[in-house]
Structure 1
Amino acid sequence: MNISDHVARLRALLRIAAEVARLPPARLRFDTALNPELVRHTHRLFTRPHPRYRLVRNKSIGIALIDLRAYASGAAYLHALRRRDYAGYHSRRARERGYTVVEIDRNDYIDDIHGINTSAGERQGRPMDPAYAARTERYPSDGLCHYGVLDKEGRLVAYGDVGVYGDFAATDRLLGYKNNDGVMYLLLADIACRLIDDGRLNYLMYDTYLGALPGLRNFKKKLGFQPYRIRYSIC
């Protein structure tokens, strides 16, 4: 690596540092009273050293959050994202096409979930993990909330798993059939609306924002997610 390469790398690092410094801060609290084993496991996962940047905690920089307290109601959230191609617009159109969001027992939809998992060989330009190809015979209780999008015939077309860990919730697995009906916008927007109207949580997390590929980052932006610097506590 020559001097110009070192200079270019240094400039890139300085740009990243400046971008990180501008991120708004957020404090998220884990509460072991909710589910001691799950909460402690998730806290360890989120606060362990980042796999590439060992001085940084795993889920601390550029994490995608919706500040649920910023909206008086779920309806206000959808109204804020009402413009064309944003979550309010897409979720309204999906409902007009007969899609609904419900809480599900995954064991009632084993074949449907397997069908979704194997419906595409790659997503966001990356090959699907081979684990998705295996058909699960029975799902154990895992302490998460499970949501599904049903079409007008009652067929599961998308699903999402969400954990509540304290004063915040975080998405786990989110997957659906690829179509232009906006079902993934509907799924996540509906989850956000439920949490806002419930009024007990401060944030909804959807993994990283700055580290996401451009298409996924744009999707998160249209759902109202923004990147934050996060500090965690646990009680």
Structure 2
Amino acid sequence: MGNHMFLQHYNTFIQAINLPVAKLCFHEHIDPDDIRNTYRTFTQPHPRFPFIRAKTIGAALIDLARFNDRNAYLEHIKAKNHGGYHAKRARKRGYVFSEIERNNHIDEIHEINISLDHRQGRPMDAKYMEKRDAFERRPHFRYYGVFDPKGKLVAYANLGIYGNFAAYSQMLGIRNNDGIMHLLLAESICRLIDEKQVRYVMYDTFFGAQPGLRTFKTILGFQPYRARYSLQ
């Protein structure tokens, strides 16, 4: 291993041990099969670092307990070029956030999925290129979308409730500079704060994400944590 690579791994290790710890608990009774499968996915060995678990080091989380209400969260991300600022721009341009039934938007979802052949420097997974005939609706999931001023779906997110935390499983949008993805996340996070059902919300991890995606997570209030998972 070269000196540069060694220093990179060493710095990552030092960062990791200094991260705050979040205890994320899966509640099996919510949906036994899906919860068990997701728990296994989150705790399997990391593909590049087999000595750590997949989504433990640098988990991108927001501790929702920090915010008394949605206004406190929006205040936290309101600075210029932060998530709240861009979400506000999207609202002013006529975009609307709403819960959606995905089966009413099959064509629009497919159009979003195939709108780019690369995202975050990687080719789109082949499963996104195939048009679905129907979507299954899981009771512990929330399905959200953003509509343009003409009423067309231009972004969507699937958010799973797993126990004391929620996690985004899918999130895609048409690429533009109108702040639609900021609106999508900010509003769905506000809903979680309103409901007070979960302590944390997760958006994958920081380590391994492209710089642009890491910035996107940061300006919406996500921070890197060491996640400790349990299954109950």
Q: Report the TM range for the smaller structure's normalisation.
A: over 0.9
1:164 maps onto 2:161 in alignment: yes
1:206 to 203, 207, 212: 203
1:63 to 56, 59, 63: 59
- The normalised TM-score by structure 2 is 0.96
SS in structure 1 of the partner of residue 24 of structure 2 = strand
Residue 220 of structure 1 is matched in structure 2 by: 217
Equivalenced residue count is 231
SS in structure 2 of the partner of residue 189 of structure 1 = helix
Q: Letter of the aligned partner of 1:88 in structure 2?
A: G
Looking at structure 1, the residues matched to 114 and 7 of structure 2 have their Cα atoms a distance apart, in angstroms, of 42
SS in structure 1 of the partner of residue 29 of structure 2 = coil
Looking at structure 2, the residues matched to 174 and 194 of structure 1 have their Cα atoms a distance apart, in angstroms, of 16
Alignment of 1:185-200 (within 5 A): 185-200=182-197
1:103 maps onto 2:99 in alignment: yes
Residue 44 of structure 1 is matched in structure 2 by: 40
> 1:35-54: CA deviations, max 9, x gaps?
11111111111111112211
Looking at structure 1, the residues matched to 208 and 105 of structure 2 have their Cα atoms a distance apart, in angstroms, of 32
Looking at structure 1, the residues matched to 6 and 81 of structure 2 have their Cα atoms a distance apart, in angstroms, of 37
1:34 maps onto 2:19 in alignment: no
CA displacement at 1:10 relative to structure 2: 2.8
Is the 1:62–1:211 Cα contact (8 Å) retained in structure 2? no
Uncovered stretches (5+) of structure 2, i.e. residues with no partner: none
1:92 to 77, 82, 88: 88
Q: CA RMSD in A?
A: 1.2
Q: Letter of the aligned partner of 1:125 in structure 2?
A: G
> 1:51-103: CA deviations, max 9, x gaps?
22112111100110011111111111111111111111111111111111111
SS in structure 1 of the partner of residue 30 of structure 2 = coil
Looking at structure 2, the residues matched to 119 and 52 of structure 1 have their Cα atoms a distance apart, in angstroms, of 30
Moved more, 166-175 or 67-76: 67-76
Moved more, 44-53 or 163-172: 44-53
Looking at structure 2, the residues matched to 225 and 200 of structure 1 have their Cα atoms a distance apart, in angstroms, of 18
CA displacement at 1:8 relative to structure 2: 3.5
The runs of 4+ residues in structure 1 deviating greater than 4 Å are none
- The normalised TM-score by structure 1 is 0.95
1:74 maps onto 2:75 in alignment: no
Alignment of 1:176-187 (within 5 A): 176-187=173-184
